[in-house]
Amino acid sequence: MFNMFNMFRILPSKLFIFKQITFVIIFLFLGLAFLNNADSEAYGFSYKNFDKTVNKYRQEGNPNANVTVILYSDYQCPWCRKFEEKDLPYIIKDYVKTGKILMEYRDFPLTLIHPYAFKAAEYADCAAPQGKYLQIRSLLYRRQNNWSTVGDLYYFLKTHAKGTINLKKLESCVKSGLPERLIKSNMAAGTRLMVTGTPTLFIYRGLILYKKLVGYRPYPQINKILKNAVK
């Protein structure tokens, strides 16, 4: 027979268990937040300063140019590598070095098909505080075949970038969690802009989007668009 008295005896017990579970969840959340913050502080950068530093070194060209080109790319993407090697140098030569445009780089690792692209982006972004972002970025694309099959980025950089960058500081930065947070922010921004593949170029005139180019495009095609954009 149902007994009201027994029900009121059981309810406090269940409420106690619920409170205990809630306490454990909150404790774990705060603990993870503390550990991530502790790693960041141990590295010596706040997220705000890290974000500002990385984005500073992710830019090339004239900050006052009327045309800004934002490139979303993936370090393990073969089409991105082709663009970086065959076409980007002409954009740099004809438009960046001449002050006609501002070039900005963003991370958009396609993690479902490129398992090491996210980690590569972390190491590239962590090279920025040492002023080596562009060098490491270029190295990762040039020697994509050397690291993309195994994914040991630290060993790769130890082999190919030793002497040009402080590897201890680089590794400390990667472990701090700061680049992970920044890259996820880039990916979220790219998703909102409906980036569906890499490379993707956004060409802005002032604050207005002039052209969006999805996928690999050869320089002659991009050159025609940029010529009209900078007029």
CA distance 92 to 97: 6
Q: Is the distance from CB of 191 to CB of 197 less than 8 angstroms? A: no
**φ/ψ of residue 75, rounded to 5:** -65, -20
CA distance 69 to 213: 11
Candidates 54, 57, 69; CA nearest to 100 is 69
Mean of all residue pLDDT scores within the chain: 87
CA distance 71 to 121: 14
Instruction: Report pLDDT for 150.
Output: 87
Convert the pLDDT of each residue in 74-132 to its tens digit.
999 999 999 999 999 999 999 999 999 999 999 999 999 999 999 999 999 999 999 99
Convert the pLDDT of each residue in 136-180 to its tens digit.
999 999 999 999 988 899 999 999 998 899 999 999 999 999 999
Q: Is the distance from CB of 117 to CB of 75 less than 8 angstroms? A: yes
Q: Residue 160, exposed/middle/buried by CB under 10 A (0-12, 13-18, 19+)?
A: middle
For residue 100, give both structure tokens.
């006609």
Convert the pLDDT of each residue in 209-219 to its tens digit.
999 999 999 99
Convert the pLDDT of each residue in 29-83 to its tens digit.
444 444 444 455 556 789 999 999 999 999 999 999 999 999 999 999 999 999 9
Instruction: Report pLDDT for 42.
Output: 52
In CATH, the number for domain 52-229 is 3.40.30.10
Task: Read off the pLDDT band of 11 (50, 70, 90).
Answer: very low
* Single pTM value for the model: 0.80
**φ/ψ of residue 199, rounded to 5:** -75, 150
Helix (H, G, I), strand (E, B) or coil at 197: coil
For residue 89, give both structure tokens.
């140098």
Give the rounded distance of the alpha carbon of 66 from its chain centre: 25
